[in-house]
Amino acid sequence: MKTRIIRTDTFVGDAVAIIHDAALEAIAARGIFRFCLCGGNTPRPVYAELAKLYLDLPWEKIQVTFGDERCVPPDDEQSNYKMARKTLFDAVNFPEGNIFRIRGEIAPGDAALEYEQKLAHVAERFGEERYAHDLLLLGLGEDGHTASLFPGSPALDETARNVIPAIGPKPPPQRITFTLPLINAARHVCFLVNDPAKSEIIERATSGDERLPAARVKPASGRLTWLIGL
């Protein structure tokens, strides 16, 4: 696997360029861009800038998923969906049918199964064993977690499922997360990190310290990018 580590002082612009290029490449190749959003605060300015710079992207050809979601209602300030709605979806009038929202407001087990079925339906159309994202964004926690895969979590050992409930120390504790097999089925995975407090954990994760969930992200396709705005 070839890992690209990009250190930049134009973090937001570079992140938007990676997304934009991936979208055009995927749409040219397969007529659709399957794009996974990460949660947390880091991506907020990236989504806002994407909406501002590329209002004319063919949004109807873009299908958006979420690498994880907190088990809260969609209008809750902690919802990753709500963050994306405020920074991206409303700004570009994103086609509602293209937004695959994880229903954080229902029982976690039901929400995970429902989401797996949604992804499986599309994967079947493409003849894929697992839904293959064209670009899957990930954040990094100070403990080395990514999506809602936290150090020591049994969720890290999941090899069959694609989407499962998970508990983590980062509030709110009850979440739904992509598993490593689904993340690693992506054509291209890109970490977005720009917090100086994460410098040490970035070094450990990019050096392959597999005690960290982020270090276990190894897309089979081989395309892994770390965009580091430090």
40 interacts with ligand 6PG by CB under 6 A: yes
> Are 81 and 66 contacting, i.e. CB atoms less than 8 angstroms apart?
yes
Is 116 a binder of ligand 6PG (CB under 6 A)?
no
41 in contact with ligand 6PG (CB under 6 A): yes
Q: Give the residue with the Cβ less far from ligand 6PG, 39 or 219.
A: 39
CB of 75 to ligand 6PG, least distance (A): 16
Nearer to ligand 6PG, 26 or 137 (CB): 137
**Number of residues in the chain:** 230
Task: State how far the Cα of 225 lies from the Cα of 195, in Å rounded to an integer.
Answer: 17
Q: What does the CA dihedral 16, 141, 1, 65 come to, rounded to 10 degrees?
A: -50
CA distance 92 to 136: 20
Q: Is residue 146 within the footprint of ligand 6PG (CB under 6 A)?
A: yes
Secondary structure letter of residue 88 according to DSSP: I
Q: Which one of the spans 90-98, 104-112, 119-127, 134-142 is the region binding ligand 6PG (CB under 6 A)?
A: 134-142
The yes or no reply on residue 38 touching ligand 6PG (CB under 6 A) is yes
Indicate whether 108 belongs to the interface with ligand 6PG (CB under 6 A).
Answer: no
User: What's the closest the beta carbon of residue 15 comes to ligand 6PG, in angstroms?
Assistant: 12
- How many amino acids of this chain bind ligand 6PG (CB under 6 A)? 16
Q: What are 63's strand-pairing partners?
A: 34
Amino acid at 61: K
- For residue 177, give the 3-state DSSP assignment: strand
Among 62, 63, 68, 155, binds ligand 6PG (CB under 6 A): 68
Contacts of 211 (CB under 8 A, 6+ apart): 144, 151
The residues of the shown chain that bind ligand 6PG, judged by CB under 6 A, are 38-42, 68, 80, 139-141, 145-148, 170, 195
